[in-house]
Structure 1
Amino acid sequence: MQKIRKAVIPAAGWGTRFLPITKSVPKEMLPVVDRPVIHYVVEEAVQAGIEEIVIVTARHKRAIEDYFDRFFELEQRLLRAGKSEECAQVRRISEMAHLVYVRQPEPLGNGHAVLCARPVIGDEPFLVLWGDDFIHADPLRARQLMEVHEEYGG
């Protein structure tokens, strides 16, 4: 039985239940304390042992890619200002996971969003995690799902 190494995070929806803020901020980027909710979801996947994460986005979700990308100019500015800890914190975000982005060309629902990840996932087993759904659990919910797969297949 193949081990689960990949996860898909559908993040292409409109976020209408959170309007009006989601008119300009993707719901996955809404803050929980000092980080967007999707940060916690990616962090959980990595802690559970996921090696590659496919985030399915749409054209109005560029902020997600920008958040996880390197921001050299900001890092340099922080270093020049003597804020090395803040610089390290910003850099760690871009290094926390191997992320692949796939576009959902039109809003055809969650199933279609997951299907858009198929070229990256192939025939491997994978997790689906929601980019706006964070639950603090011990053990991690992603790890629990992986353990069930390891025991029973699926």
Structure 2
Amino acid sequence: MTTLIGVFVGSVVSRRTQDRHWVRDQVSATCARVLRESSGLLVDLSEMEASRPDAVPQGVVLPTTIDWRPWNEALSMVNLVADKEIAEAAHALDERIWRLHTMVKRGLAPEENWLVLRLDVESAQNNFITVARRQLSLAGDPLQRFSGRPDPDDPIWTS
């Protein structure tokens, strides 16, 4: 009898461990997808802004050239598998992307600098990374830097 109880308890514990690993793997893959798709959207927005015809004045809204399906699928996966904190960080990133998208569709005003505007989205990406690292990284240590790219006011951008 003791052997049967031991086998049963062992199988329950093993099943829980497998479930936790599966969930962790799903959340990790989903977070990676959010970062991949949000980075892709920044590239698409940059290209959309750079290709805006000079003949179209700022304020005139152009139709979007962006395929939002991959981004929306990534957000749906976050809503499905991630915990509340990760989902909220993804939603904050989504809001920042939408705000930048709206600005790009109407055309940037002369005083609006693309590199500065994208920092708002990158800040939300970095927050998402910080939240996800707390949950997924074994060490959970916060990062001090998220990229090696020079700051927007660095002379490299004007030379």
TM-score normalised by L of structure 2: 0.28
| Larger Rg, first or second structure (1 or 2) | 2
Bigger helix fraction: 2
Q: Which has the higher strand share?
A: 1
Q: Could you say which structure has the greater relative contact order, defined with CA pairs below 8 angstroms and 6 or more residues apart?
A: 1
Scaled by the length of structure 1, the TM-score of the pair is 0.29
